[in-house]
A and B are shown apart, each in its own frame.
Chain A
Amino acid sequence: MRFEEYLRRSAERFPDKTALVAAPRRLSYSQLDDMSDELAQGLIERGVGSGDRVVLFLDNCVEAVVSIFAVLKAGAVFCPVNPSTKADKLAYIINNCRARAVITQQKIAPVAADAVLAAPSVELTVIADGEAAPSTPGFLHWRDVLAVPAFRLLQGAPGIDIDLAMLIYTSGSTGFPKGVMMTHQNVVAAATSITTYLENTSDDIILNVLPIAFDYGLYQVLMAVQVGATLVLEKSFAFPQLILQRAAEEKVTGMPLVPTMAAILIAQRNLAAGALPHLRYITNTAAALPPAHIERLQALFPHVALYSMYGLTECKRCTWLPPAQLKNRITSVGIAIPGTEAYVVGDDGQRVAPGVVGELVIRGAHVMKGYWENPEATAKALRPGPHPWEKVLHTGDLFRADEEGFLYFVGRKDDIIKSRGEKVAPKEVENVIYALPGVSEVAVIGVPDPILGHAIKAVVAKEPGAEIAEVDIVRHCARFLEDYMVPKFVEFRPSLPKTESGKISRRLVAETPGGNASDAAH
C-alpha cells in the first residue's frame, strides 16, 4: 500500500479529530487531507508528475506536513532538506536528484533562490508562507498554486507501492551527501514495525521537536498519520521550559528525544518526578543515551516506558530495547524491530558468536533501495546476503550481541581508536565520562601520537556552572577504565559540533579547532 492512503483512511475514520497542532494552528484529519489534495492538484497542474522529486526546504510547520502528503498524492517523491542548510549544499542536493520543484518559506527563501538559480531542473518554486507575493521572479505563493478547493482529484492511485516515496539525504563520510531511496513499501514497513512495538494507537498525542527533515522527526509525522494519532509539532528545543509547558497543555503521550535533548531535559532543576502525567513513552535514538541519563529519566518519569533504539537512515530503524529489559541491559539497544533481522558479522560476512565484535547487518522490507545514482556507495552498503535473491544492509557500525541476542553498539566501524596497540571504542570512554556530574556532552577521539599510535582525547562540554577540571575527568576515567582507555588530553568547549541530525560528530570534533588542550599527564 502507498503511504498517502493512510491519510485518506485516518481522514475517513476521524474526520474531525485533531491531526496536527502547530501552534497557534490546529488541523483536523479532514483538513489535512483536503489541503494536501489541493496542493497535490496544484503541483500536478504545474507539471509535477509521477516520480518527480520535490525538495521540501521547510522548518516544522503545517505546510511541511501538507507538502509531504501532497507530493505523494501527486505520485512524486519528496526530499526533505534541513532548513539550516546553506545554498551550496542545497544546490548540490537539488542538482543531484534533479528536483522539478522546491517548496520553501519566506525566511529562508533567499537561500533557496541562490540554490535554484544554480539548478536548471527546477521549474516551480513555492513559498509556503507570508502574505506578500514572492519577490523572487518565478517563485509562486502557496495560495496561487492551490487548485480550486472542493475539487476532488486523484480518485485513482497515482502509482504503486514499489514507487519511490522519499529521498533522504544523509551525510556521507566522504563529504558529499547521499540520497537514501525509500519506496512506499519501505516506509510502510518501517512505520508499521515501529508503531507496533511502541504500541501506538489513535489515542496517542506525539510531541515532535525534531526537525522533520531528519528521518526520526519525519517518521513522527508519518506514524501519527498512520495510526490516526495527534501530532504536536514544535520548531525548537531551545526553550525547554516552553516545550514542557506545551507537552503538559496538550497532554502528550509520546515524546521522541535525541541524547542532547535528554541531557538538557534532565538538567532542568525545576522538573519534578511525575511531571507530564499523560506521558506514556519516551524514545531515544540517533545515539545511545549514557546510562546515567537513562537512570535520571527513569527517576523523573517513573510511569513512562523508555525505549532505547538504534537506526540509520538507510533502513530508518534497526533495533529497539523492550523497556522491561532496561534494568538488566541498560547499555543495550535491544533486538531487531518486528518483522526484520539484525545480526553481527565478521570481516568474512559470516555471523559471529555472542560477545564477538563485528559489523551489524540488517535484513528486512525497511531496507533502502540504495543511494540515488550512486552505485559505488550502494554496493558498499547493500551486499549479497545469506540468500541468492537478496541484498542486506551493512550498517558500518560495530556491535556485539549477548548470549540472549541483545545487541550492544560498540562504535562506528571507523571510529575505533588504536592506542598502545589496544582497541579503544570511543563510546565506552564517553559513557564513563557522561556519568561524571556536570558533563553535558563528550566526544572521544584519537589524536596521532608518536609513542601511542593514537592518544585518547576527550572533548567535553560542561553543564552551565559545572566545576570540572581536566584532572577530574582523567581521575574519573582512571577509576572506571583500563589504563589504555584513559584520556591523555582533555579539552573543554562550550558545545560540541553535531551532524545535521543532531548526533555529536567525532569527525567534526576532530576537525574543528577548540580551546587549548591540556596535557593531562602533567
Chain B
Amino acid sequence: MANDLKQQIRDFIETSFLFREGRDQLSDDASLLDAGLIDSTGILELVSFIEGTFGVVVEDADIVPENLDSVSRIAAYVESKHVDAPAITAMAV
C-alpha cells in the first residue's frame, strides 16, 4: 500500500509540477522545495490533491516541510492521518 501511495503522490507531482521543470528523476526523499518544484501556490495545489484523493483534512499547522516536502514525507503524513481515520483509508485507497 505504501508503494501505491507513493506512486500516486509521485504521479501527481510529476503531472502538476515536474513537467514545468523538464526534469525526469525525483527521488522519494528529495526536498520539493530545494528542487524548486513547489512554491506557495504549488503547495496549495498539493494540499487540495491530498485532501481530494486521500480523504484527509490537512490542517494549516500540518502544512510544514516535515509533512509535505518530499514524496516520502507526504506518504508518511497521509498514512499517519489514515491511522486516525481507518474508515476513510478503505474508501480512498
Query: Do A and B interact with each other, yes or no?
Result: yes
Chain A residue nearest to B43 in the complex (CB):
A238
Q: A37 CB to closest chain B CB, in angstroms?
A: 30
A residues 226-250 touching B (CB-CB < 8 Å):
235-242
Q: A52 CB to closest chain B CB, in angstroms?
A: 28
Pair A239/B47 contact, Cβ less than 8 Å: no
CA of A235 to CA of B61, assembled, Å:
19
Pair A261/B34 contact, Cβ less than 8 Å: no
Of the 9-residue stretches A154-162, A262-270, A285-293, A356-364, which lies at the interface with chain B? A262-270
CA of A494 to CA of B64, assembled, Å:
20
CA of A83 to CA of B33, assembled, Å:
13
Q: Chain B residues near A494: list those with CB within 8 A.
A: 41, 44-45, 48
Whether, in the assembled complex, A171 has its beta carbon less than 8 Å from a beta carbon of chain B, the answer is no
Q: A470 CB to closest chain B CB, in angstroms?
A: 19
Whether, in the assembled complex, A518 has its beta carbon less than 8 Å from a beta carbon of chain B, the answer is no
Our pick among B41, B60, B65 for the contact of A260 (Cβ within 8 Å) is: B41
Whether, in the assembled complex, A413 has its beta carbon less than 8 Å from a beta carbon of chain B, the answer is no
Q: Chain B residues near A464: list those with CB within 8 A.
A: 44, 47-48, 51
Pair B63/A239 contact, Cβ less than 8 Å: yes
CB contact under 8 A between A84 and B51, given known A239-B43, A239-B64, A260-B41: no
Pair A107/B34 contact, Cβ less than 8 Å: yes
Pair B40/A84 contact, Cβ less than 8 Å: no
Q: A147 CB to closest chain B CB, in angstroms?
A: 30
Q: Chain B residues near A83: list those with CB within 8 A.
A: 36
Whether, in the assembled complex, B11 has its beta carbon less than 8 Å from a beta carbon of chain A, the answer is no
Whether, in the assembled complex, A465 has its beta carbon less than 8 Å from a beta carbon of chain B, the answer is yes
Q: Chain B residues near A195: list those with CB within 8 A.
A: none
Whether, in the assembled complex, A201 has its beta carbon less than 8 Å from a beta carbon of chain B, the answer is no
Chain B residue nearest to A461 in the complex (CB):
B41
CB contact under 8 A between A465 and B45, given known A239-B63, A260-B40: no
CA of A52 to CA of B45, assembled, Å:
42
Report the interface size for chain B: residues with CB under 8 A from the other chain. 24
Chain B residue nearest to A107 in the complex (CB):
B34
Q: Chain A residues near B68: list those with CB within 8 A.
A: 239
Whether, in the assembled complex, A31 has its beta carbon less than 8 Å from a beta carbon of chain B, the answer is no
Q: Chain A residues near B39: list those with CB within 8 A.
A: 236-238
CA of A3 to CA of B69, assembled, Å:
38
Interface string of A246-279 (1 = CB under 8 A from B): 0000000000000011001000111100000000
Q: Chain A residues near B71: list those with CB within 8 A.
A: none
Whether, in the assembled complex, B9 has its beta carbon less than 8 Å from a beta carbon of chain A, the answer is no
B residues 10-64 touching A (CB-CB < 8 Å):
22, 33-36, 38-45, 47-48, 51, 59-61, 63-64
Pair B40/A241 contact, Cβ less than 8 Å: no
Q: A271 CB to closest chain B CB, in angstroms?
A: 8
Q: Chain B residues near A465: list those with CB within 8 A.
A: 48, 51
Our pick among B33, B35, B38, B61 for the contact of A241 (Cβ within 8 Å) is: B61
The tally of CB-CB contacts under 8 A between chains A and B is 65
Our pick among B42, B48, B59 for the contact of A238 (Cβ within 8 Å) is: B42
Q: Chain B residues near A260: list those with CB within 8 A.
A: 40-41
Q: Chain A residues near B42: list those with CB within 8 A.
A: 238, 495
CA of A260 to CA of B34, assembled, Å:
21
Q: A111 CB to closest chain B CB, in angstroms?
A: 10
Pair B43/A270 contact, Cβ less than 8 Å: no
- Most A-side CB within 10 Å, residue of B34, B43, B45, B61: B43
Interface string of B61-90 (1 = CB under 8 A from A): 101110011000000000000000000000
CA of A154 to CA of B33, assembled, Å:
39
CB contact under 8 A between A236 and B33, given known A261-B40, A495-B41: yes
Pair A237/B51 contact, Cβ less than 8 Å: no
CB contact under 8 A between A242 and B65, given known A84-B36, A235-B33, A264-B44: yes
Chain A residue nearest to B45 in the complex (CB):
A494
CA of A464 to CA of B51, assembled, Å:
9
Pair B51/A241 contact, Cβ less than 8 Å: no
Our pick among B41, B48, B61 for the contact of A270 (Cβ within 8 Å) is: B61
Pair B45/A270 contact, Cβ less than 8 Å: no
CA of A268 to CA of B47, assembled, Å:
13
CA of A24 to CA of B22, assembled, Å:
31
Q: Chain B residues near A268: list those with CB within 8 A.
A: 60
CA of A461 to CA of B45, assembled, Å:
10
A residues 486-509 touching B (CB-CB < 8 Å):
494-495
Q: B49 CB to closest chain A CB, in angstroms?
A: 9
Pair B40/A238 contact, Cβ less than 8 Å: yes
Our pick among B22, B40, B63 for the contact of A236 (Cβ within 8 Å) is: B40
CA of A495 to CA of B17, assembled, Å:
12
CB contact under 8 A between A495 and B60, given known A84-B36, A238-B33, A465-B51: no
Pair A241/B44 contact, Cβ less than 8 Å: no
Chain B residue nearest to A87 in the complex (CB):
B22
CA of A241 to CA of B60, assembled, Å:
7
A-B contact pairs, 13 of them (CB 8 A): A84-B36, A86-B22, A235-B33, A238-B39, A239-B65, A239-B68, A241-B60, A242-B65, A260-B40, A264-B40, A270-B59, A440-B44, A465-B48
Contacts A269-B60, A270-B59, A494-B45 aside, 14 further interface pairs with beta carbons under 8 A come to A107-B34, A107-B36, A236-B33, A236-B39, A237-B40, A239-B43, A239-B69, A241-B61, A241-B64, A264-B40, A268-B60, A440-B44, A464-B48, A495-B44
Identify the A interface with B (CB < 8 A).
Answer: 83-84, 86, 107-108, 235-242, 260-261, 264, 268-271, 440-441, 461, 463-465, 494-495
Identify the B interface with A (CB < 8 A).
Answer: 22, 33-36, 38-45, 47-48, 51, 59-61, 63-65, 68-69
